Homo-oligomer: A and B are copies of this chain.
């Protein structure tokens, strides 16, 4: 009954009878479309209670509304809005769309105008690295296949079977597959997360996510009506004591963890912490969604076992993707987990979009099976390592004391905390004027505000751009710090 908020207090001392005031207010809302046709009005007793009115007053107002053709009462079912804005032939889409909250939109002007800028804003691979001839070679192999017509025909919601088998066998070799596991191909990790949310969550369910976390995950979960509970993630992955508190207090339905090079912080969950996360999920009796699109992008340090591999309880669902290590424009990822869940994801996938595009599945299978993916992976990791190193060196060289940043061992992103009292959103305007852009921390906030933080996505930039970009950023931060220091100087008393 959100709309009750919109009712103005009635004038109990005025000349207009209360029932008439109430009638006018509700009628206005129906005529303006605020109250949509088909919406149920509260029972007279409820509304009277909520407004502190006599029930007869409300009943009189409803009677007027009904006489005016604005509502219609059904015995035992209540009263419904039937009237509509007068003289409005067209459909009022604002009313139609008003029942779902629109997600907060991320300003993507940073991306579209990114050509001239040094953009640390978008977490994606550099297209200059794409091995176009290898890609053409993989396409040529697919196009000359005898079964090309089958690839172009309607496919299976589980995925293109040869690719599915390839991924399952490869996961088996890596020790990721438990007895009874199955695998489904999705349009990247994003769709796997969406399908999981659709089969496991109901509106109002609490879901544990890292804080800060990838905007696309926030929007997805909020869109599903979930209640997001953030657990701080910074230097060494999830804050475990916070995680324990949150599991006890919020009784979430599931937990979504990005163990490798988390977006936006770039941090990795240590081995012991992985074990602890699994133990806590076991105590809480909830599934763990292991969102792992970056696993192939380790530039230094030793690879750690996946949660899926360590999990003895069959509670982990592993999500991986070709996007981050090959071509993001081809939307192919997968989910590996217990068959009972994968069966339900397949049904949800079929309802959602029948199946993933088969041309891209066949091309990526060829790209992988021919060894081109491995070769490209080596190249991407070598370049990524150079860019990560350049980013950290430039941070040390150009960012003023009091600035702090994470130390990723891979991935595409690094997280920066500005010295107090700087606000990254305020900084952005000056940075963009100087040709540099990034995403302020607020895009990634879950339960805690992060005004002083920002994400630097380095994977798409060349070493020189990283150097120049951080030099400019360093100057701007210093400038803002000086301004902040000036404005904090005590104002002398007027004498």
Q: Which of A53-83 contact B (CB under 8 A)?
A: 80, 82
Which of A162-170, A195-203, A266-274, A425-433 faces chain B? A195-203
Write out the residue numbers on chain B whose beta carbons fall within 8 Å of the beta carbon of A105.
347
* Oligomer copy total: 2
Contact B143 A354 (CB under 8 A): no
Write out the residue numbers on chain B whose beta carbons fall within 8 Å of the beta carbon of A130.
149, 152-153
User: Is A305's beta carbon under 8 Å from chain B?
Assistant: no
User: Is A282's beta carbon under 8 Å from chain B?
Assistant: yes
Contact with B along A9-33 (1 / 0, CB 8 A): 0000000000000000000000000
Contact B132 A149 (CB under 8 A): yes
Contact B340 A93 (CB under 8 A): yes
User: Is A404's beta carbon under 8 Å from chain B?
Assistant: no
Tell me the bound Cα distance from A287 to B284 in angstroms.
Answer: 44
Tell me the bound Cα distance from A253 to B93 in angstroms.
Answer: 12
User: Is A244's beta carbon under 8 Å from chain B?
Assistant: no
Tell me the bound Cα distance from A23 to B252 in angstroms.
Answer: 25
Contact with B along A441-457 (1 / 0, CB 8 A): 00000000000000000
Contact A150 B136 (CB under 8 A): no
Contact A357 B331 (CB under 8 A): yes
User: Is A44's beta carbon under 8 Å from chain B?
Assistant: no
Contact A103 B347 (CB under 8 A): yes
A351 is contacted by which of B139, B194, B252 (Cβ under 8 Å)? Answer: B194
Closest B residue, CB atoms, query A133: B143
Contact with B along A98-133 (1 / 0, CB 8 A): 011011010000000000000000101001101010
A122-B154, A149-B128 known; A358+B344 contact, CB < 8 A: no
A285-B84, A357-B360 known; A351+B94 contact, CB < 8 A: no
Q: A38-B251, A219-B347, A352-B352 are in contact. List 15 more A-B contacts (CB 8 A).
A: A38-B206, A89-B313, A90-B315, A93-B338, A93-B341, A97-B341, A100-B344, A103-B351, A127-B152, A152-B328, A153-B329, A187-B187, A187-B357, A194-B352, A353-B353
